[in-house]
A = this chain, B = another copy of it.
């Protein structure tokens, strides 16, 4: 089974698609650009959701739900916002079908045309700020700290499973504040929540920073982001958090009475991560045998495969497995016993490797005699034999080791693929090899655009990490003076 996966060295992009489809994570649907998220893929997304939701609630946020549809006129209220989203909108124009008078099934009923077209939300700032107008009148109504789990649609022309799909699932936080400082603080807090989640659950070392003007969210004053490195050295933007200033408050006339009796526009932030995180998870850790899931997000953390020749052996092996499983479940570990009787154990090994299960336990008749079990690690593909009695404890510590090791591996990879580059010739060579380049830049969109045209590299962010980046130098392209390095890479 795993043999059908294209090796990364041969074709990284095909390797990714193979993994997504063959590990049963997602597939393309009959609707252009829309995917079906299959049970195994959805189970990983659910674990992500569960943890993020917990972190949002711990930071004081509540969930709510706003309409799927946005009146066309709402989009136009914020000039940059409509500019950013108008070209990729699914537009609802009618509310009824009818039997085709010519006998060709059903057709759109021309009498059911909507007075105003509705846009399937590409993001919800407009409909939410139109709602907040009724929720906010005094400083006592602030802050509003709301998050929404929802589907959104952006009519992308070139789509790829998880990475860029017409419909995707995400969460979008939308907060309202009395002061600029508070809104900025919120945007910063949430990008750090994302970084924490990426590092400690996805085992991905991300770089936190600020977007340049040209890469900003349409309607934001400041966009903060986390950027992850994939195994081909390309960057993947894994989450963004925006300080929106008073742009949407002004567009929807949302003011509040201050403690002193004045009237002010409200300040805003919004922030989101999506099923794109699934793509990051796959590409950051997978190998030529399949997925490598960090234990913290693996739907099945331990799989047990019985080894046997005769049915009575199977029975004894399964009894031992159930015993160990029970201990593990008590410790909060999710375990699957693969007792399918029509498949060889070698086939099962390959299948669970493909699916990235962190720990595989094999028990055969000889293990029963010796009171041992065989533990196999997905991350290193190494095996060890351990006493059956101490197996539960060993597995728990192994899961912890694996989580840390996957992170360390990704961190070492990233650190060995980041370079400070100071010559344009070197830039052009290095960027082709893949990796992140820390370079000086003159701060203009023109230079940024030219670099993109010539090399396809973009400024992923202006990293927060000042000790690495804060130094005097000259722009890699124009030679003009610069006070700090920024992060260049080709990106997904």
| Main SS at interface, chain A | mixed
> Would you mind naming 7 contact pairs between A and B with Cβ atoms under 8 Å apart?
A29-B131, A30-B67, A30-B71, A37-B64, A45-B65, A72-B97, A87-B97
Inter-subunit contact A43/B63 (CB<8 Å): yes
Inter-subunit contact B127/A31 (CB<8 Å): yes
Contacts of A344 in B (CB 8 A): none
- A72-103: CB near B (< 8 Å → 1, else 0) gives 11111000001000111111111111110000
Inter-subunit contact B39/A96 (CB<8 Å): no
> Does chain B have a CB within 8 A of A108?
yes
> Does chain B have a CB within 8 A of A251?
no
Per the 8 Å Cβ criterion, residues 42-72 of A in contact with B are: 42-43, 45-46, 62-72
How far apart sit A42 and B130, CA to CA, in the bound complex (Å)?
Answer: 19
Residue ranges of A at the interface with B (Cβ–Cβ < 8 Å): 27, 29-31, 34-39, 42-43, 45-46, 62-76, 82, 86-99, 105-106, 108, 117-120, 127, 130-131, 134, 140, 146, 150-151, 153, 155, 167, 169, 342
Among all A-B residue pairs, the 7 with the closest Cβ atoms: A34-B67, A39-B62, A86-B97, A37-B65, A76-B105, A95-B155, A91-B94
Inter-subunit contact A155/B86 (CB<8 Å): no
Contacts of A66 in B (CB 8 A): 29, 36
Instruction: Report which of B67, B86, B95, B118 forms a contact with A36, defined as CB distance below 8 A.
Output: B67
- Distance between A89 CB and nearest chain B CB, rounded to angstroms: 5
Inter-subunit contact B93/A88 (CB<8 Å): no
With A31-B70, A69-B167 known as contacts, the answer to whether A87 contacts B96 (CB < 8 A) is: yes
Nearest opposing residue in chain B for A299, CB measure: B62
With A29-B67, A120-B68 known as contacts, the answer to whether A92 contacts B90 (CB < 8 A) is: yes
Inter-subunit contact B106/A95 (CB<8 Å): no
Instruction: Report which of B31, B42, B105, B131 forms a contact with A63, defined as CB distance below 8 A.
Output: B42
With A30-B127, A69-B34, A96-B89 known as contacts, the answer to whether A64 contacts B39 (CB < 8 A) is: yes
How far apart sit A36 and B167, CA to CA, in the bound complex (Å)?
Answer: 21
Nearest opposing residue in chain B for A46, CB measure: B63
Inter-subunit contact B72/A86 (CB<8 Å): no
How far apart sit A27 and B89, CA to CA, in the bound complex (Å)?
Answer: 26
How far apart sit A137 and B369, CA to CA, in the bound complex (Å)?
Answer: 41
Nearest opposing residue in chain B for A94, CB measure: B91
How far apart sit A74 and B34, CA to CA, in the bound complex (Å)?
Answer: 15
- Distance between A95 CB and nearest chain B CB, rounded to angstroms: 4
Contacts of A167 in B (CB 8 A): 67-69
How far apart sit A140 and B29, CA to CA, in the bound complex (Å)?
Answer: 23
Contacts of A68 in B (CB 8 A): 34, 120, 151, 153, 167
Inter-subunit contact B91/A95 (CB<8 Å): yes
Nearest opposing residue in chain B for A99, CB measure: B86
Q: Which of A27, A75, A86, A342 has the most CB of B within 10 A?
A: A86
Contacts of A82 in B (CB 8 A): 97, 105-106
- Distance between A34 CB and nearest chain B CB, rounded to angstroms: 4
Nearest opposing residue in chain B for A97, CB measure: B86
- Distance between A67 CB and nearest chain B CB, rounded to angstroms: 4
Q: Which of A69, A119, A146 has the most CB of B within 10 A?
A: A69
Inter-subunit contact B91/A86 (CB<8 Å): no
How far apart sit A71 and B43, CA to CA, in the bound complex (Å)?
Answer: 27
With A30-B127, A36-B64, A64-B42 known as contacts, the answer to whether A93 contacts B94 (CB < 8 A) is: yes
Contacts of A35 in B (CB 8 A): 67
Q: Which of A36, A105, A131 has the most CB of B within 10 A?
A: A36
Inter-subunit contact A97/B91 (CB<8 Å): yes
Nearest opposing residue in chain B for A39, CB measure: B62
Instruction: Report which of B38, B106, B146 forms a contact with A75, defined as CB distance below 8 A.
Output: B106
With A34-B68, A62-B42, A140-B342 known as contacts, the answer to whether A108 contacts B117 (CB < 8 A) is: yes
Contacts of A130 in B (CB 8 A): 30
Contacts of A119 in B (CB 8 A): 97
- Distance between A118 CB and nearest chain B CB, rounded to angstroms: 7
Nearest opposing residue in chain B for A45, CB measure: B65
How far apart sit A67 and B29, CA to CA, in the bound complex (Å)?
Answer: 7
